Amino acid sequence: MSDWNSQVEAAKKELAAEFKNLDDKTRILKSDHLKKLYALLPKVPAEQKRELGLAINDLKKEVESWLKDDNEKKVEDLRPIDLTAPFDINAKEPSLLPAQNGSIHPISQEIEKVSEIFNSIGFEIFESRNLDDAWHMFTSLNFPEDHPARDDYDTFVTEEELVAPAHTSTMQSRILSLRKSDLEEGRPIAGVVPDRVYRNEDVDARHEHTFHQLEGVYVDKDVNVGNLIATLKTFLSAYYGKEVETRINPFYFPFTEPSFEFALSCPFCDKKGCHICSQSGWIELLGCGMIHPNVLEMAGIDSKKYSGFAFGCGIERLIMMKYGVEDVRLFHSAKLKFLKQF
């Protein structure tokens, strides 16, 4: 055996020992033992250079196989990791925090309660849309062509002229058209739509560009304002868990006639006056009214034979009043301290 053969064999043993003790195994390819072997090439006789070069390359490939085997072993040893799981970032080595039970978001939680109350008094629950057409959003609701709400200054409109609904009233004509056969069979149309809406608003403690609204419609023979007030009072008393006084003031909406703003006695101070009701004892809560005959006719319902009422209110506003929340932005803040209260 030539002298360089013994040096290659010795280098192999030294590399194996070095590899075993390295934290960063990739450093083995820069080992001095390999460098010394390459340094032999200029010193050996010309007829031995090729043989030595092949021996060194074979040794290098074997070292690279050690790296490959080591990486495969590391992959096999890894257990699946949930990247969304909470980690203790202050620990010397990352470790999972103790598992905690999650909870339903307060908005989803209250939408479920609202839906249960209306369902218990005979209302069907419908879903709205995230994009709709201008006919359902405006025309079917008796909005005039020059109404400011049609302008993108107030409402989000896509390049394809689809509308991000600014109110769940966009579902009103669909519900009336879909269920008008109920009227012919002697049953009323009764539906509510709790869903997301979008408005071009400046965000502050009382306003959000994305929030949730509750729309309600009821149509039958001989429906009047008294039925509207009784329905809303029944719902609010059930939702707040106490009897509430109500007050209505004349207002204007294109899709109802007559139209009203609906207020209720402050559930926090019993009309004594507090910071939530601005010391007035009353809180303006929602808009409502008798469905405009034009809206009924556009849905294919005879307005001379049938009448109905509609109402709409912000769901976040209902929740804020119920729990004394003073900033609407908290609902989408993802602050655990806030969410844990629910």
Q: What is the CATH number of domain 106-339?
A: 3.30.930.10
pLDDT at 208: 83
List the structure tokens of 256. 């109802």
pLDDT at 109 over 80: yes
pLDDT given for residue 242 in this prediction: 83
Q: What pLDDT, on a 0 to 100 scale, did the predictor assign at position 100?
A: 61
Higher pLDDT, 184 or 274: 184
> How far is Cα of residue 48 from the mean position of the Cα atoms in its chain?
72
Pair 140, 133: CB distance under 8 Å? no
What distance in Å separates the CA atoms of residue 287 and residue 258, rounded to the nearest whole number? 11
What gap in Å lies between CA 214 and CA 173, rounded to an integer? 15
pLDDT in tens, 146-196: 776 666 667 888 888 898 998 999 999 999 999 999 998 999 999 999 999
Model confidence at 296: pLDDT above 90: yes
pLDDT-derived band at 88 (thresholds 50, 70, 90) equals low
* Amino acid at site 135: W
pLDDT in tens, 303-329: 999 999 999 999 998 988 888 888 888
What pLDDT is recorded for position 243?
Answer: 82
Mean pLDDT, residues 272-300 taken together: 88
Give every CB contact of residue 121 below 8 A, 6+ residues apart in sequence. 231, 234, 235
- How confident is the model over 33-84, as pLDDT tens digits? 778 877 877 887 877 778 878 888 888 888 888 888 877 776 666 666 666 6
Mean pLDDT, to the nearest integer, of 215-232?
Answer: 95
Q: How far are the Cα atoms of 104, 268, 286, 341 from residue 324, in angstroms, in the given order?
A: 19, 8, 18, 12
pLDDT at 89: 55
Residues 236 and 117: their CA atoms lie apart, in Å, by 9
Which is higher by pLDDT, 15 or 113? 113
Short-list 145, 170, 148, 181, CA closest to 306 = 181
Domain coordinates of the chain in residue numbers? Answer: 3-78, 106-339
Q: What is the pLDDT of residue 205?
A: 75
Q: What is the CA radius of gyration of the chain?
A: 36
pLDDT band, very low/low/confident/very high, at 97 (cuts 50, 70, 90) = low
